Amino acid sequence: MQKNNITALIYDIQGFSVQDGPGVRTTVFLKGCPLRCPWCHSPESQRFDRELNWMSIRCIGLDTCGMCLDVCPNGCIKAGEVTQNAAGDDIRYPEVDKTNCDECGKCAAACKATALYMCGDEVTIDDVMYRIKRDKPFFEDSGGGVTVSGGECLAQPEFTLELIKSCKELDINVAIDTTGFVKYDVIKSVMPYTDMFLYDLKCMDSDLHKQVIGVPNELILENAKRIAEAGGKLWIRIPVMPMYNDSEEHFKLYGEFLSEIKDAVIMVQLLPYHKMGLSKYARLLTNKQVFTAEPPSDALMDARKAQLEAMGLPVRIH
Amino acid sequence: MFKFAPVSDRIKKIREKRDAFTNGKLITINTERTKLYTEYYKQHPNEHPLLKRSGAILYWAQNKVCNVFDDDIFVGTPGPDERSMSIYVDGSPEFILGIIDERTFKEAWQSGGAVYMSDEQRDILAEAYDVWKDCSISKMFEGVLTDDMWDGFDNGSIILGKGKFDEGYTGVFAGTQGHYSANFKAAVNVGFGEIRRQALDILAKHKGKIMGDWAKKHLFYTGVVRVCDAAIILSKRYAQSCRAKAGNEVNAERKAELLQMAESLDWIMEHPARTYWEALQIHIFYQIMLSTDNQQHGQSMGRVDKSVGHLLEKQLAEGSITQELAQEYTDAFLLRLCDIIVVHGGMLNNERVIELNKAGMNAYMAIYSDMTATGGIVLTIGGSKPNGDDDSNAATYCLLQTYGRMNFTDPTVALRVHKNTPDEIWRLGIESSKISGGLPQFQNDDIIIPALINDGFSIEDAYDYSIVGCVEPGGNGNEWSASGATGGNSVWSISEVLMLVINGGLNVRSGKMSLPCKKLYEYGSFDEIKAEFVRQMDYGLDWAVSHCEMFELAYSTFYPCIVASTMLDGCMQSGMDATEGGAKYNRTGIQVCGTANVADSLMAIKKLCFDDKTVSLREMYDALQANWVGYEQLRQTIISEVPHYGNDIPEVDELAGWALETFADLIHTKRGRRGYYSAGTFTVTAHLYFGSILGATPDGRKAGEPIADAISPRQGFDKKGPTAYLRSALCLPHYKLSNGDALNIRFTPSSVSGDEGAQKLKNLIYTYFRLGGMQVQFNVVSTAQLREAQKNPLEYKDLVVRIAGFSTYFVTLRENLQEDFITRTEQSM
């Protein structure tokens, strides 16, 4: 198959990404994920198709524009009441009811101000490699590289595999950021071109995992062990969620599991829960109940770090 | 995590005293220089300017009050008081009328505000006004401007118009000369005694034989002798003051120190420095003399570490100084430089001072809003030798330590880096810059040195370059670089040129014509528009250079810079003042801002009107005339669908590169009375002013909004992260910008925190430089912090930010500049 016939749906490429593995990296975010973490800070990454987003701050108002009002074939967009924008000026926004929306994108195409816009771009390998090549000098001086992330990048395995093969042709360091919730065969196929896996361990209790995220964790833990056995490197990422996985007992379980695969673990990265993703839910125009909590304290983060370090693991916060 | 060591108790005490001055309403106005210069001018009305300027500095050195203060590690202040602001009458004394006004004088200056002026000082100013109103630099400039020269103002080419640079400046062309590195290395390592001997020898040889072109040289060398005398007398008078103070000192240790200082002060200035302390003290004296001679912006100190480091290393090796003492000297040196405070007279008037006093703000800081207190002193450190080895020394490390732990806004410091810069220097530089709001800035030797060689520098002198003013590479003590240009046209709005192309050569703002040309809707092709842009720019630059040249003539005729010329390489050899072209190297720098707006505007015209043909040229023209009213959808289309510079999109980045290269190539063809002109892109805060007077532009910008600063993208339009921003900047012809460029980049604190963050910042700059970037200055501050600072200025009074070529307190910036800074994209990594 020709490389350029393969496409993927991505929602972002971020240059100079410094929290996605060592050195200065460029991270490619593929759209679509099999998990539904309630704290997800990139809700736009979850669906495997393009979807309508709305950012009121960009809207110039129906009285100036109004191009979105008549284009929806399903009648989802109506004129709203006069309200005030961030600057305190009167403005009328459209009201979008997504109940009957089929994500056709006609309203976004009509919106010159891109207040209504479609999240998700279909890209080829060449499209992505162009940006990667431009950023390559920054990797070279810093020991960085490319991180393929998501969503779940291994849920679009053909594209991810071709992309990292192309990176390896240019001798670029590759990290795969994965939930681990994929068939091991897929992992095995990318392994020869992968320098490390950024590997999420969201919860050690399988029942709780299933209850909160929607799937159990056995496959994830099993895959981690198999990567370790096959000589792969694991950069473990633990989102520290208040009331969920932040207790001392829970971290004991993390410690025990990671000790089993210690030789493969090059870093354990603790990521404290933050609220920065909350505004993105509003953009998606969903009424979904979102997990909110106070971010864990610095003291708690330090304690959990110390707990794992005491077991001989390399740990960092952020 | 990395931390700078705390300062010594003694430095802490000096620092606290200095801050107490600032906060405790103890800063005074220094009118001593004005008084002495006015007296000299009244007594010697007929002296030739070369004699008048040298006679005045000698008179000042003989008569100034030489106070030594408790805890002084170094001596020397511009005025009698420990911490005072010097004001100048030579440029445009008209501002004095706004101070001596009886109705408001007391409330402004004697009612408990932060700066004090006595009745006697007010009377000195009033008398000075009478003397200088007819012989100020502005008046002399008007005296050389023939009627036809006024036509250039406001025709779109002489953009600053008749003098109002921004509301802070009044009068015509006050204080826009300078911008060079004086020869401190010779002051330290040759001495004024030797120069004096050389000048006397030359005078003796020609005694009674003044023929050919010798008459003016005779006056020049006579002036040199006077300047050397002034330097030597100044130092010896401070020696006397130290001895007098020692006589009253009860603490034996301090007494011995004062006597040791006196011994050194009797030696230095006349002779080369023997110790690190002496070398630093010479810097202070010479800087005070230079800033007494004239208010010149961007008087730069050259490679301070290089001038003094050999003495420090010798002393460290022989054990005559400890590392701790060396560090204490370095800290004290910078603190003393901070006491050289010069103020733009135009910024002072009673109403403004009253307003600041009422706001409860530290008026000293506030008067300096948007500006630097020392008038733009910049130190250069680091760098490479011609063989590629690193040229830093023990003093480089001391200076970086000082900057990292003392959080100065001013004087600024430029760190020269190259491919072999040691990790430790990088480390100190990055950490210092993170803490102190952009000090040091980083300069890339590997681009700058070839650019200077291309400008005619010898290899040796190019490797010895130093930074002048803000970011300008110039000769270290051997060039009259005039890198801030001379006169009113130091900065230039490239966006205005585009508007002339669009409007048929008419400057809509002033109603004056530049070169007549087609209007936007009459052009047949995109190439025709580009060709007209080149033609208009060339015409405008010719005018800009013409005004610079007339100003240079006025300056060299009436205000020669004899104090600087005494030491500058070339002047002693040629017998000519630096303003006449006596220095070894001569350039004049002109800088542009608004490149991003030009690129984005051209891109919009090309894409919409020529490539896609979705918008007619007429419609675009009408939209601009209407300032987008009724064309909001078109404006939004431009914002969201047309590529913008700063996002690594080659077709628009190439247009930015083309516009800037056109400017650089054109300016390089202009030759003045001293030498060629060179191109730069730093623009201090002029982009706000230029934006405020500019109509709507095709990039979707509304009339009056700021244009882009230096080589930055339009505020907030770089959306693809720092690597894409830098990639765009790398499309610009840095190697042709031999008068410097400034790359501003702001990071959120969390993205560059800790050792790893520092390392990644270094990687970012290193790679940018490896790919051809010239200069980087960064800020580490979040938008949220800045918004908070706007709400609670008193709580954030110490927040320092890097604006352009200078750092300053964020809360002291005018509101429009605060907004501009905040809207510059915040990069997170």
**pLDDT (tens digit per residue) in B291-325:** 999 877 788 999 999 999 999 999 999 999 999 99
Q: Which residue has the higher pLDDT, B642 or B822?
A: B642
Contact A113 B724 (CB under 8 A): no
H helical segments located in B712-753: 721-729
Q: Hey, is the C-beta of A109 within 8 angstroms of any chain B C-beta?
A: no
Going by the DSSP 8-state scheme, the letter that residue A31 receives in this structure is S
Number of domains composing chain B: 1
Structural contact between residues B235 and B216, judged by C-beta atoms closer than 8 angstroms = no
Q: Which of the four pLDDT bands, split at 50, 70 and 90, describes residue B685? A: confident
Number of domains composing chain A: 2
Q: What is the radius of gyration, based on Cα positions, of chain B?
A: 26
Structural domain boundaries enclosing A29? 3-48+121-317
- Do A131 and A94 share a structural domain? no
Give percent above pLDDT 70 in chain B. 92
Query: Long-range contacts for A114-118 (Cβ within 8 Å, ≥24 apart)?
Result: A114/A55, A114/A58, A114/B636, A114/B640, A115/A54, A115/A55, A115/A56, A115/A57, A115/A58, A115/A59, A115/A60, A116/A52, A116/A53, A116/A54, A116/A68, A117/A52, A117/A53, A117/A55, A118/A50, A118/A51, A118/A52, A118/A53
- Do A114 and A199 share a structural domain? no
Contact B723 A15 (CB under 8 A): yes
Give the number of other Cβ atoms within 10 Å of residue B806's Cβ.
Answer: 29
B683 is a domain residue: yes
Q: Is the pLDDT of residue A285 over 80?
A: no
B200 is a domain residue: no
Q: Which of the four pLDDT bands, split at 50, 70 and 90, describes residue A56? A: confident
Q: Which of the four pLDDT bands, split at 50, 70 and 90, describes residue B414? A: very high
Last residue of a domain, one of A118, A137, A152: A118
Contacts of A130 (CB under 8 A, 6+ apart): none
- Do A216 and A192 share a structural domain? yes
In 3D, which of A21, A132, A17, A14 has the Cα closest to residue B764?
A17
- Do A159 and A250 share a structural domain? yes
Residues B383 and B659: their CA atoms lie apart, in Å, by: 31
Q: Is the pLDDT of residue B66 over 90?
A: yes
- Do A188 and A280 share a structural domain? yes
B142 is a domain residue: no
Going by the DSSP 8-state scheme, the letter that residue A280 receives in this structure is H
- Do A40 and A60 share a structural domain? no
Q: Hey, is the C-beta of B639 within 8 angstroms of any chain A C-beta?
A: yes
Note the pLDDT tens digit of each residue in B688-698. 888 888 999 99
Return the exposure string of B18-41: e unless at least 16 CB atoms fall within 10 Å of the residue's CB, then b.
beebbeebbbbbbbbbbbbbbbbb
Element (H, E) at B34: helix B32-43
Structural domain boundaries enclosing B613? 148-174+478-714
* Average confidence score pLDDT of chain B: 89
Helix and strand counts by DSSP (H, E) for chain A: 9, 13
Last residue of a domain, one of A118, A146, A165: A118
* Average confidence score pLDDT of chain A: 89
Structural contact between residues B775 and B442, judged by C-beta atoms closer than 8 angstroms = yes
Q: Is the pLDDT of residue B166 over 70?
A: no
Q: Which residue has the higher pLDDT, A102 or B621?
A: B621
Confidence at residue B170, expressed as pLDDT on a 0 to 100 scale: 36
Q: Which of A172-186, A193-207, B723-737, B777-791 has the lowest mean pLDDT?
A: B777-791
B355 burial class (0-12, 13-18, 19+ CB within 10 angstroms)?
A: middle
Average pLDDT of the segment spanning A174-182:
95
Shortest CA distance from A18: residue in chain B:
B829
Confidence at residue B585, expressed as pLDDT on a 0 to 100 scale: 97
B667 is a domain residue: yes
B233 is a domain residue: no
The sign one gets for the Cα dihedral B235, B238, B244, B247 is negative
B188 is a domain residue: no
User: Which of B720, B757, B766 is nearest residue A15 as measured by Cβ atoms?
Assistant: B720
Give percent above pLDDT 90 in chain B. 63
Last residue of a domain, one of A70, A94, A118: A118
Average pLDDT of the segment spanning B41-55:
96
Residues of B in contact with A17 (CB under 8 A): 721, 829
User: How many Cα atoms sit within 13 Å of B813 on the Cβ side?
Assistant: 27
Average pLDDT of the segment spanning B188-199:
98
CATH number (domain holding residue A77): 3.30.70.20
Residues B164 and B160: their CA atoms lie apart, in Å, by: 7
- Do A82 and A68 share a structural domain? yes
Note the pLDDT tens digit of each residue in B452-476. 999 999 999 999 999 998 899 999 9
Contacts of A234 (CB under 8 A, 6+ apart): A196, A197, A199, A224, A227, A228, A261, A264, A265, A266
User: Which of B633, B763, B827 is nearest residue A24 as measured by Cβ atoms?
Assistant: B763
B229 is a domain residue: no
Confidence at residue A98, expressed as pLDDT on a 0 to 100 scale: 85
In SS3 terms, A81-131 reads as EEEECCCCCEEEEEEECHHHCCCCCHHHHHCCCCCEEEECEEEEHHHHHHH
Provide the whole-model pTM.
0.90
Q: Is the pLDDT of residue B69 over 80?
A: yes
User: Which of B637, B770, B829 is nearest residue A16 as measured by Cβ atoms?
Assistant: B829
Note the pLDDT tens digit of each residue in B701-720. 999 999 998 898 998 888 88
Q: Which of the four pLDDT bands, split at 50, 70 and 90, describes residue B360? A: low
Q: Which of the four pLDDT bands, split at 50, 70 and 90, describes residue B354? A: confident
Contact A15 B633 (CB under 8 A): no
Confidence at residue B172, expressed as pLDDT on a 0 to 100 scale: 42
Q: Is the pLDDT of residue B162 over 50?
A: no
Confidence at residue B807, expressed as pLDDT on a 0 to 100 scale: 67
Contacts of B440 (CB under 8 A, 6+ apart): B381, B400, B403, B412, B413, B414, B415, B429, B432, B433
Q: Is the pLDDT of residue B168 over 50?
A: no
Structural contact between residues A29 and A45, judged by C-beta atoms closer than 8 angstroms = yes
Mutate to test the interface with A, among B628, B636, B748 (most CBs of A within 10 A): B636
- Do A151 and A105 share a structural domain? no
Residues of B in contact with A136 (CB under 8 A): none
Average pLDDT of the segment spanning A93-120:
91
- Do A75 and A103 share a structural domain? yes
- Do A294 and A149 share a structural domain? yes
B592 is a domain residue: yes
- Do A275 and A142 share a structural domain? yes
- List phi, psi (to 5°) of A145: 170, -150
Average pLDDT of the segment spanning B218-240:
98
Q: Which residue has the tokens 């633990």?
A: A238
Note the pLDDT tens digit of each residue in A208-252. 889 888 899 999 999 999 999 999 999 999 999 888 888 899 899
Q: Is the pLDDT of residue B814 over 80?
A: no
- Do A32 and A75 share a structural domain? no
Peptide bond before residue B411 is cis, with ω within 30 degrees of 0: yes
Question: Tokens in use for A169?
Answer: 């042709």
Q: Which of the four pLDDT bands, split at 50, 70 and 90, describes residue B186? A: very high
